[in-house]
Structure 1
């Protein structure tokens, strides 16, 4: 007896001979894992991807070097979007100031600065109106002609036009929309991370601002990172609420077809439930957060678990059809399937574990959770389910419980069975031609698929602007929340040229800013900007300490005079007595805004350059680096766009690295395991060829349907190996045993294999394809794309296992065996 047989004999001693002990042990383990369910944390949005990324670490290092993370206390802005027939009309301007005043009265909003078109115009009317109340009085007491003159004067400066919609008419003094900004002091550390999380410090603050705005008399929309964070968190729960019931319904339908027996159906569902409890309990105990990516984990585990369950029940029924008893039938079933399940588990874990090589933490967490979940699936379906099946069938015989569908799937001479064996029939006649055609189609699809795009953006994780009709018509408990962020983002980019830069580059500069030419150098650098930067009068659209100075000068006549006295070339940028100007700002209401762009020791500053979103993140990041090269002092380009560009590169690198690692590891594992089990290592290559063809088809399909490699779909290529190898592994392992028993009769071995295993594979494929395909119902686009490509990978793997394996096995028999 060899080692494998000894292990199987030992396991049979428990599974078949002591089933009650096995069932009790697994139920106790389930109770233990269930205690970890309450410890699962949620992590949503893009900020989870920046951890460990070199560009993000550089950003954090810069913040640390520049002290106070960043520049004294952290601040966060809230955008107030006002719309109307003419937001520059006196009543609308007053409404904006009334809202600003109500917000200022709320201490919990921690407001350190406010600005709007209304404040700019009011200070043009009365330069001494430094408070919101005084500015409101200035607007109420002004005549329409005085307001028109104030608008024209303000429009001549740099501040007003940037916060008015693109339809602004300076002659008529009219615009349909404007942006106001409220700046809040928030807990330190906000600025040290790019991206948006599901737990932003601004979420509660901005939701309060939204509540105040909804009660105001004007048409206001509140927007900011906190609002985005709130929706990112909500979309996870809503997606699960939609996806899980839909998946369960589809799974039930296909399991009814596969099992055709209520007892077996309940047993399969219990095993699936235990798999989910074990996996999520482990995540809770191990501190692996639940985010958008891990929504896919239960779906993948259900896919593999359903496959294992159908194979176990189907193989057991084959033995029972010979007239053998319950335990006599289960022993050869477990002897064969434990080996097959081990092969599938090993290759699947290797496919998922290849994602541990990624430099992105969420992808590593996904790989770890999915990998350990597959191990749990193997244990539950390979050991618990057979033992429970023995107990149930013995109980069934004792109480004479009626039998339902007990025939194996694909048995007999049905049309379904004929369809399964069609690939084998063609391969029997022309194996070389069939394999050549399949390999060529795979090669063409793979070559075409090398052009697939790579992307990473916040929009991947946000719900679409308009939810599908089926989502909007869902009844009460299933109905999703209201999502407005995407619509607001699109409207901002459409209506405001200045907001086209939802992409931007933040340039950190370190130099003695007291030097007379410090600000002048920064100002000159923004002239003749890089191609991807948004321009105003052939100058890069920027926000920094220079713009704070200019805005304050428009509102404060005394400060304007101070700037003018120290502006030698009359371009609005002071170049004398800069320390005096900075000190004035820090003693003014603009202190909060000033300290968000300059450090209090006047040695570091930052400039935010608006970028055109029509350019790619990599192009914007490259232009940001070119911009820093213009300075003679230390300047570093960073910020969300630069970090996201780096993540995009990492995603592609991770996808390719994981694919190569999964292929090499899987090939090595299959060659070793078939050498160990069958003394035929070359069967490992036979096992691998179908999945390589399936992956090539998948890559070509992704490019054809314009599905990019993003944070989630980047894992698909390695996952496709893990899931897809399942189908060819079952066939090749069964073929190896049949080939040995039939003493090299390759045709009969293939026929027995495909008829016996192909039916179970078909049931598994249908259940898995539709079960993972329901991710397409998720509200988040990235999950929909992931569900589609997983479903395609499973379908392609099934087709390849039935079409590619037979000619490969026949040629293997002729030339290798």
Structure 2
């Protein structure tokens, strides 16, 4: 054993002899951290998870090099038009009018635009390169000429990607189309950020674009990364506005029951508020952005803070009801609780910090902020709250202010006290039988949990298309805003084959001037994997080869050039490729060509259609297999592949964090009980109920259909951190009582349950209810996290009260 008491005695002296000094110091620190709140920025959406992914890097390159042929452009806005027939003359003119009006507003920094209407206009008049000239071309054409132009344009590889799946070439009709407007954004922006959130310089541009396009007489909606980023940010704050007051109200109700004294209640709530201010003030001072992940941190701080607060007041009251004075009562309470709080803090920090080994930056950041927040919570509830309680009770005694609710929770003779002894009763009669049953249930739950799904998508972070009535009907200022992103993305999924995972792209970099380059692409497309759409054993692909074929059909001179340089006569040129590219880029098909090849002839993209029945994993695997066939440096990418990569990383992170948290926690507990008690085996006793609660939690996730996603992936390591909270209080209190009762196990157990069980019950009821209100959050991912977090605390409590007594009885027989 190590003599740690002298350190605790120093803290005791500050708490009991200089409480006002302690209070002033903590208030000043709160002011310092409070200043950091003004520095908090937001980072929302999925981009924060995908930024280190090779597939996302390739997708960003594609967006920069192929999205449009406007060299100055580095940001884009989509114009999504819908109607009975968006290819009718008046609708084509409406789209071109929208493009024209956006171009006229200098603040929108438009450097170019394109759409199906532009392609049709240029098919009619190849010299019409501006929206104004294209409007003239459409206005001067007859209906028949427009239909002929649409049919001709549809033969090109790019046109069908701009119109909806119901496009009918014969009748020249479609119910929706997409236009693109390019902006020269100061400071730059990745256009692949559309749908990923985060702060975007495109937000004011696209907000203003909505107003401009709204003046056009057609159903055209504006969509882009700036609007998505703005909506993600609004969702964060709207969720906080709903969740925080609801949680505060429920927590307050249960804290009234737990404290039963207005001054104690005020001190407890003040301490909770300080813990949140310190934590998020730190994130502001450290320059860490606030993301959806960090919305889960306040509930975690509340879970631990409420537990610490109730234990501190409850233990102090146990001494005060015996007639002991203020200072000795607090010294006894802090002597015991500072050690228990240190154990809980250490293991909780380990559980949260275990997320630091994740390959995903937001999960690492979440683990860091949560771990630091728990350290702050330990300091506030371990030092500030006891000092404030001493000072408040001294003032009460001085001015004759009465005290309320002095009896501790779960005291002997109370109904709760009798109920809490159920676990001790089972430990007396049949400890081995209870542990065998517990083991069987845990193993079965763990085995069942192997079927838990893994999920990662933009939908996890967005509100449902239909907001629940109980949220929609909230009064101001709690009423949620108007959200359109989910509706728009669902519309794109439904109407367009090239969005949301129905195609994948291979991004290749290499010497495309070499004679073998196009032949290499052609050979890679032969006998494609099952998830890739094919005909006649060749992949259904859109590439520079398709643009060459299309132009060759329109231009006899270009066709002759291709034929002269097709040595093996297979329809794909394999000689003088630079000359062919030069001719193509000097033709009316320049814009289409630059969708698939860069002007320096160093990069290309090939777009493959995927089978609708293929799973995300199958698509990703087959796309990577296809990329491996290329002779160049090739990367398979696309939203499906990016999301699948993150999904796999999430599962890996969950398992690695669980193992790391378990191993480090076990080592910590064994060492700490060796240091403070000389009994390292008590560390294993402390750990046993946590194994049970983690197994039950994992099984419950599958039972309730909750997948491992960006947020719930952290829950297994968090379950260890928070679960230890309950068992550590129980085991440490038992160790103290074990000495008091001359190493008699059962009397020590009964006293432990009466003394600590009440505080554990109050903590469990408060935190599960307060955290459970996360289900009210607008984003599904937060609702799921709130449920699993509440289950984590409930299972940890049940395991501590019911299982730990039997574990201790068995330990007592062999220790």
Please indicate, yes or no, whether the TM-score normalized by the shorter chain is above 0.5. yes
Deviations 1:414-433 (A, max 9, x none): 33222222222122211111
Any idea what SS the aligned residue of 2:113 has?
Answer: strand
Q: Secondary structure at the match of 1:804?
A: helix
357-366 or 581-590, which deviates more: 581-590
Gaps of 5+ in 1: none
What does 1:161-240 align with in structure 2 at a 5 Å threshold? 161-186=160-185, 187-188=187-188, 190=190, 196-240=196-240
Q: How does 1:269-348 map to 2 (within 5 A)?
A: 269-348=269-348
| C-alpha deviation, 1:576, in angstroms | 6.6
- How many residues get paired? 810
| Contact 2:37/2:277, CA 8 A, preserved across alignment | yes
* Alignment match, 2:417: 417
Aligned residue runs from structure 1 range 240-639, under 5 A: 240-501=240-501, 504-511=504-511, 513-515=512-514, 518-519=517-518, 521-523=520-522, 525-526=524-525, 528-533=527-532, 540=539, 542=541, 544-546=543-545, 560=555, 563-568=558-563, 578-580=577-579, 582-583=581-582, 597-611=596-610, 615-638=614-637
Task: Give the conservation status (yes or no) of the 8 Å contact 1:505–1:611.
Answer: no
Within-5 A mapping of 1:748-759:
748-759=747-758
Q: Aligned equivalents of 1:704 and 1:448: distance in 2?
A: 9
Partner of 1:132: 131
Asked whether the equivalents of residues 513 and 601 of structure 2 are also in contact (C-alpha less than 8 Å), the reply is yes
1:681 paired with 2:680, answer: yes
CA–CA distance in structure 1, aligned partners of residues 134 and 534 of structure 2:
31
The question of whether the paired residues in 2 share the 8 Å contact of 1:562 and 1:581 is answered with: no
SS at match of 1:798: helix
Q: Answer yes or no: is the 8 Å Cα contact 2:238–2:778 preserved in 1.
A: yes
TM value normalised by structure 2:
0.92
The alpha-carbon distance between structure 1 residues 231 and 584, as it changes in their structure 2 partners (threshold 3 A), is farther
Report the CA distance between 1:301 and its aligned residue: 0.6
1:785–1:288 CA distance, 2 compared to 1 (3 A): same
Distance 1:172 1:66 in 2: 34
Question: Structure 2: where are the runs of 5+ without partners?
Answer: none
Q: Distance in 2 between matches of 1:112 and 1:356?
A: 43
Report which stretch shifted further, 449-458 or 603-612: 603-612
Contact 2:70 2:111 in 1 (8 A): no
Q: CA deviation at 1:159?
A: 3.9
Name the residue aligned to 2:696. 697
Deviation larger for 328-337 or 455-464: 455-464
Q: Deviations over 1:514-566 (max 9, x none)?
A: 34563454355445543333568986555554566678899xx7xx4554343
1:732 aligns with 2:731: yes
Does the aligned pair in 1 maintain the 2:163–2:496 contact within 8 Å?
A: yes
- Change over 3 Å in CA distance of 1:745–1:480 after alignment to 2: same
* Pairwise CA distance, 1:69: 14
Q: C-alpha distance in 2, partners of 1:281/1:593? A: 51
Instruction: Provide Cα deviations, 1:722-770, integer angstroms capped at 9, x if missing partner.
Output: 1111111111111111122112322221111111111111111111112
| More off after superposition, 75-84 vs 265-274 | 75-84
Shifted more, 396-405 versus 519-528: the winner is: 519-528
Q: Matched residue of 1:698: which SS?
A: helix
Equivalent in the alignment of 2:746? 747
Q: CA separation in 1, counterparts of 2:664 and 2:135?
A: 71
Instruction: Give how far 1:468 is off.
Output: 1.5
Query: Match of 1:16, SS?
Result: helix
Deviation of residue 58 (structure 1)? Answer: 7.9
Correspondence for 2:663: 664
How far apart in 2 are the matches of 1:194 and 1:159?
20
1:597, 1:421 → 2: CA distance? 73
Segment of structure 1 superposing worse, 122-131 or 580-589? 580-589
Please, which moves more after superposition, 345-354 or 538-547? 538-547
What secondary structure, in the 3-state scheme, does the structure 2 residue paired with 1:409 have?
coil
SS in 2 for 1:166: coil
Change (3 A) 1:553 1:249: farther
How has the CA–CA distance of structure 1 residues 611 and 227 changed in structure 2, closer, same or farther, with 3 Å as cutoff? farther
Q: What is the deviation of 1:254?
A: 1.0
CA contact (8 A) 1:500 1:611 kept: no
Name the structure 2 match of 1:39. 39
Give how far 1:195 is off: 7.7
The 1:775/1:544 distance shift into structure 2, 3 A limit, reads: farther
Q: Which residue of 2 aligns with 1:649?
A: 648
Aligned-partner SS, 2:481: coil
Question: Greater shift after overlay, 358-367 or 35-44?
Answer: 35-44
SS in 1 for 2:92: helix
Question: Which residue is 2:142 aligned to?
Answer: 143
**SS of equivalent residue, structure 1 residue 221:** strand
Distance 2:407 2:807 in 1: 30
* Pairing of 1:773-784 with structure 2 (within 5 A): 773-784=772-783
Aligned counterparts of 1:544 and 1:657: Cα–Cα separation in 2: 41
For the residues of structure 2 that align with 1:773 and 1:332, how far apart are their CA atoms? 34
In 2, distance between residues paired with 1:196 and 1:648? 15
TM-score by length of 1: 0.92
For the residue of structure 1 that corresponds to 2:498, the secondary structure is helix
SS state of the match for residue 499, structure 2?
helix
Would you say the 8 A contact 1:354–1:367 is kept in 2? Answer: yes
Q: For residues 589 and 725 of structure 1, do their structure 2 counterparts lie closer, same or farther at Cα, with a shift above 3 Å needed?
A: farther
Which residue number corresponds to residue 764 of structure 2? Answer: 765
Deviation, 1:471, is 2.1
SS at match of 1:508: strand
- Does the 8 Å contact 1:455/1:709 carry over to 2? yes
What's 1:10 paired with?
10
Alignment-derived partner of residue 49 in structure 2: 49
